[in-house]
Amino acid sequence: MNGPDLDHPLAGPFWSAAARKELQVTWCAACDRAVWYPRPHCPHCDGNLHWRRLSGEASLISWCEVAGGLNPQFREAYTCALVSPLEAPDIRIVMRVTENTTPALRCDMPGRVDFVYLQQTNGAPYLAPAFTPYA
Amino acid sequence: MPALSLRSLARAASLPAGGTAEPLEDIRGIATITGVGETAVSGPSGRDPRQMALEAVAAAIADAGLQPQDIDGLMVSGHIADQITPEDFHRHFGTPGPLWFSTEGGAMIWAATCAHEAAMAMRARRATHIVNVFAVDWATRRAAGTGTPGDWHAGEDMKAHLEVPLGWYPQPVYFATFARRYMHEYQLTEAQLAAIPLTFRRHANGHPGAVMRDRGLTLEAYLARPPLAGPLRREDCCLISDGAAAWVMSPSERAADMPRIPIHIDGVGHGRIAGAPYISQQLDLTATPQVFAAPWAYAMAETAPAEVDVIAVYDCFSSTALMQIEDLGFCRKGEGGSFVQEDRLHYARTRRQGGIPCNTHGGLLSHGYLLGASHVVELVRQLRGSAANQVTDAQRAVYAGFTADEAATLVLSRGGA
C-alpha cells in the first residue's frame, strides 16, 4: 500500500475527513471521551463509537526529525510528531509538522492542525494532518 | 524455601499505573542455566538461520557437558521466522526421543520468560534438559532487500493505517520521539546520552566476539554525526546482524553434578502497557514497560537493585537503555542522564563503587543484534567469572528484555562452585 486506505473499516473515516481538511477521531458518547486508536467498541463501556470533528487546537507532545532515506516510503527529510488535541488531551495523534515552522519546536507548545499533501514512493498525493505552532 | 503466593508477589511488586504484570508463579530453586553457546555474530554473511541455530545449540550442549540425546526440551521464538523445529533438531543430531517443544522461547522478552516456562515444564516433569535458541539473519535479509526489523510494525493494522502513512516509522522514529520528550521533561543532553553508546562501544572493543571490536568511538566523533532520527544518531541505534545464541536449562538438583558453575534462575517478571501494542498512546512516554516487569522479578527473587552486580539491557536504542536502567531501579526516573556519566556503566566500575556494569559485551549497539539472546549468554559468563570484560566478584545479574509494548526481567545468581 502506498497511501491511506479510505475504505479501511476502522481508519478510513480519519482519512476521508483529512481529505476535507477536517480532523476527526472516534468518540464514545456514553463515556464522553475520545478513543484512540479506533476500535469496534469502546474499551471502557463496550458502547458504540462515532467519529467526531475536532477544532484543530492542539499541543505538541514530541517530535522527530527523520533524515532522508531512513524511511523508504518518503525520500526527503521530514518531521513527524505526536500531537494531543485540545478536546482530548489524553490521546496522541500521529501527524506531520508543517515545514519551516517559526518559532522553534518545543514540547507542549500550542498550535493548530493544518493539512498538507504527502506522497509515498509510487503512490498518489493525499492530504494529511500537520501541526503548525502558533507564532 | 517456601513458595511465594501470587498475592504476595503482586503486593511486593506494587506496580505503577498504566500497565500490568503477568501473574508469574514463584519458580525459585527449580532451574539453572548449565550451558551456553553461540555462533559468530556478523553483518551480512549469507548464513542460514537454522544452521546457525543448530551450531549454537551444539555448542551449548557441549558446554553443559551433555550429549544431544540428553536434551528433551526445545524452546524457540514463535515470532521470528526461520527458527528450528524438533524435526530439524532430530535430523541434525540423529536423536530419536520425544522433545517437549515451545515457541515461547527465543530472544527479546522471551529470553527472560523462557526461563519461567522452562521451570514450569521441569516442575510438571515434561522435560529435564531444555535448550532455548534464537537465530537471526536480518543483516543478510536487509542487504538482499528481503526483510527488515520494521516488517511487523508495517503490517500491524492500526500502525499500517494511522502511523505509516504519516511517516511515524520505522522504529528509530518511535524511540527518537520518546527520547525528545524525555529530554524535555528531564533536561537530558545529547552529550549525556552519548555515555551509553560510548561505554557500550568500549565494552565491544574489549570483547573478541563483538561486531564493533575494532571500531573506536569518541564523544567528539559522536556529536559530529548527523541525526538519523533526531535527536538520535546512527550510533544510538542497534546494529543489524546475523548470528545465533543458545543456552541449556537443567533442574537445579542435577546442576551440582554438571561441569559448569550453575547459574540459578531466581526471578522472572513480564509486564505490558495498557492499550498494547500502541506505544504512541502509553501513559508515560518517558518510561518503559520494565516498570511493570522488574518489580515482579525482584519480588520473586527477594532481591533489589542494590544487590545486583551486573545487568544486560535490551538496548535497541541508547535512550531505551537509559530508560530501562531507571525503570529497573538503578536510579530514580529522570536521573538516568547524570547516573550514566563517569563510567558508571563500565565493567570496571562495580556496584560498590556506585556503578552498575551494563551490557559488558557491547550490547545491541556494538556487540551485535541478536535481540537480547547474547545478553543472557554474557550474563552467564559474568556469573561464571569467564567474561571478556569481567566484573569483579559478580554474584547476581539481571537481564532486561523489551519489545516496546512489553518488557521482561530475569534475575540470575551464581551457584556454589
Residues B313 and B245 in one domain: no
Tell me whether 0.90 is exceeded by the ipTM: yes
Residues B178 and B72 in one domain: no
What pLDDT does residue B319 have?
A: 98
Asked whether residue B151 is assigned to any structural domain, the reply reads no
The pLDDT tens digits for B42-63 are 999 999 999 999 999 999 999 9
Least confident of B32-36, B111-115, B152-156, B385-389: B152-156
Its domain, for residue B355, covers 1-23+166-239+270-409
The pLDDT tens digits for A54-63 are 999 999 999 9
Taking only residues 31 to 60 of chain B, the set having a beta carbon closer than 8 angstroms to any beta carbon of chain A reads: none
Residues B296 and B332 in one domain: yes
Distance CA A104, CA A22 (A): 25
Query: What is the domain partition of chain A in residue ranges?
Result: 12-133
Asked whether residue B261 is assigned to any structural domain, the reply reads no
The pLDDT tens digits for B347-362 are 999 888 889 999 999 9
Helix, strand, coil percent content, chain B, rounded in steps of 5: 40, 20, 40
Taking only residues 249 to 308 of chain B, the set having a beta carbon closer than 8 angstroms to any beta carbon of chain A reads: 275, 278, 280-281, 285
Tell me how close the Cα of A37 comes to any Cα of chain B, in angstroms.
Answer: 7
The CATH number covering residue B209 comes to 3.40.47.10
Residues B71 and B197 in one domain: no
Distance CA B307, CA B397 (A): 9
User: In terms of DSSP H, where are the helices of B110-150?
Assistant: 110-123, 138-144
Chain B hits for A107, Cβ within 8 Å: 180-181, 184-185
Residues B60 and B110 in one domain: yes
Residues B297 and B181 in one domain: yes
Q: Do B336 and B322 meet the contact criterion of CB atoms below 8 Å apart? A: yes
Rounded to 10°, the helix B49-63/B86-93 angle is 70
Residues B3 and B130 in one domain: no
Q: What is the DSSP pairing of strand B100-102 with strand B71-75?
A: parallel
**A8 shares contact with chain B (CB less than 8 Å):** yes
Residues B11 and B40 in one domain: no
Residues B375 and B348 in one domain: yes
Asked whether residue B314 is assigned to any structural domain, the reply reads yes
